[in-house]
Amino acid sequence: MSRREKWMLSPYRLAHHPLCKNFDDHMYIIRGHKVCRGCVNLYGGMIAGLILAPIMVFVLKVTFWMAFVATVSLFIFTPISAFLEPPRLIKDISRFFLGIAMISAGLSVILSIVTLAQAMNWWAFVVILITLFLYFVSRAYFTGFRNRKNEQVCRNCDQFYHPRCDGMVDAVDRAKAIESFNKGDAFSEQ
């Protein structure tokens, strides 16, 4: 895909949702572009986690157990936020904590591998297994859970059975513009 085509589709790449009123609370507007709110908070948490990780290891001398407890403590906000439907600000904080928890999980696994290699501490192996299980199972479950919730928003919309809803019109029109541009027909720029 050319740079021009990427630019034409950029609002949807960053938003991850239909650009309609039903999903306005799922997006931030940054410099006129709608950006997925959950991703901004998650990646912000990951950046914070990457900044905190060296401090935790080299200054605070965190062990694999401490990193594991931090992971579980920060992760617990995700299911609470998903099932209780708190205000949007609480969901934003939960996603931020999830980003930190993901880095903490990686740190927990790395520290566990180092401990396992140095001292053959089998609890480190257990922490690795639990951390990986928690990551993969929760990722699969909560991705599906969020997809079902978002689909329900679309199903409850009065435009759900239309060929194109207002939130997706621009995406379809842009896709057609790219197709006609590639074909070189009357709708493309000469």
Ranking 6-15, 151-160, 181-190 by mean pLDDT, the lowest is: 181-190
Residue 174: band (very low, low, confident or very high) from pLDDT cuts 50, 70, 90:
low
User: What is the C-alpha to C-alpha distance for residues 45 and 130, in angstroms, rounded to an integer?
Assistant: 22
Q: Taking the model in full, what pTM does it have?
A: 0.80
Q: Which residues contact 142 (CB under 8 A, 6 or more apart)?
A: 78, 79, 82
pLDDT of residue 190: 37
For residue 29, what pLDDT is reported?
86
pLDDT of residue 37: 92
Name the token pair of 108.
């927990």
CA distance 112 to 63: 8
For 36, list phi and psi in degrees, rounded to 5. -60, 120
- What is the predicted pLDDT for the residue at 149? 87
- pLDDT higher than threshold 70 for residue 170: no
Question: What integer is the mean pLDDT of 64-89?
Answer: 93
Query: What residues does each domain of the chain span?
Result: 13-156
pLDDT value at residue 113: 95
Distance, CA of 153 to CA of 67 (rounded, Å): 37
Helix axes 64-75, 88-119, angle to 10 degrees: 160
CA distances from 69 to 66, 72, 139, 153 (A): 5, 5, 19, 35
* Paired tokens of 98: 């999830």
The pLDDT assigned to 188 comes to 39
Identify the pLDDT of residue 8: 55
pLDDT of 85 reads: 86
User: Comparing 155 with 168, which gets the higher pLDDT?
Assistant: 155
Q: What is the CA radius of gyration of the chain?
A: 21
